Structures are given as structure tokens and as C-alpha cells.
Amino acid sequence: MSKYLSIFLISFVLFGCDHQSNQSNQSNQAITSDASKTAVGSELSNSDHSAQIALDYMGTYVGTLPVDGQQLTLKLTLDEETYTLQIGDAERSGHYSWHDQGNVIYLQDKDGHVWLPLFVAENRLLAVDENNQWILDENKQPYALIKQ
């Protein structure tokens, strides 16, 4: 999944910009999370208590994700069923869908292909791979986008 994320983000930055934005990059923010659980499914598995139902997840999130050995700063805004993603001055919008358990969202490109799963937690989105495993940084913490 990291390979696919890398390919998509690079192609997004280089070729796939819908339009340019004049907003400046947001500064990186550290996260303080317990990464002792690596399986997303072990975090929340009861759909009655899912993030989709229980959390106020809509809003703007800022953070970094690894792409080909470098950290890219992202700004992601989630609305009811759509998202807007900014990487530097590049901006793209699309739809997202929920995993059956309601704890993971899948950002989709304009053709409906899923390219980025994110685990929805209280005031943050955690990067996961296609096997629902955290994508960890050098400190063994999940990469996260923090709600602003």
C-alpha cells in the first residue's frame, strides 16, 4: 500500500492538480498516541460504537505522510461525503467512503479508485495500509493528520 500511496501522491503532485491554491504549508505537528496496537480492527470493532457514528470527524486535518523517503505535509478537509486535499499549492477534491465497521475512511480519486485508507480517531486520522496495519514513523508511532 505504501508503494501505491507513494505512486499516487507523486503523480498527484506532479500531474494531477485540479487547480492551484495560494495557501502556505502548515507546520508539522507531533502526535502522542499509543502505537502498541497495530491492527486497526482491534481498536474498534463494534459498529454501534464506530467513529462514523460516535465522533465529530468532519473538519480540517494537517500532518505529514511519507512518500519516497520524504515527508509531505498534507491538509485534508472532510465534509459530509467529500474531501479536499492540499499538498503544497496543489489541491484536489473527491469523495470518500467508509469501511463496513465505520472506523476507516477510503479517499477515492475521480474514477472511484481507493488510494488512501485512514483510521478515524478522536481529533486525528491515522494512516493505515491495505492490511489495516498502522503506517509507523521512525519512532514507531502511526503517521497522523491532526484536526485543526
**Domain locations in the chain?**
2-147
Distance (Å, rounded) from C-alpha 74 to C-alpha 86? 6
Q: What is the pLDDT of residues 130-144, one digit of tens each?
A: 888 999 998 999 999
Q: Is 138 exposed, middle or buried (0-12, 13-18, 19+ CB in 10 A)?
A: exposed
Instruction: Return the CATH number of the domain spanning residue range 2-147.
Output: 2.40.128.640
Q: What is the pLDDT of residues 108-131, one digit of tens each?
A: 988 888 888 999 999 999 999 888
- Name the residue among 137, 100, 94, 138 with its Cα closest to residue 116: 94
> What tens digit of pLDDT does each residue of 31-65 get?
333 443 444 544 444 455 678 776 888 999 999 98
Q: Which residue has the higher pLDDT, 50 or 88?
A: 88
Lowest mean pLDDT among 20-24, 44-48, 78-82: 20-24
| Residue 145, Ramachandran bin (φ over 0: left; ψ between -120 and 50: alpha; else beta) | beta
Q: Is pLDDT at 3 greater than 70 in this prediction?
A: no
pLDDT tens-digit readout, 90-108:
999 999 999 878 899 999 9
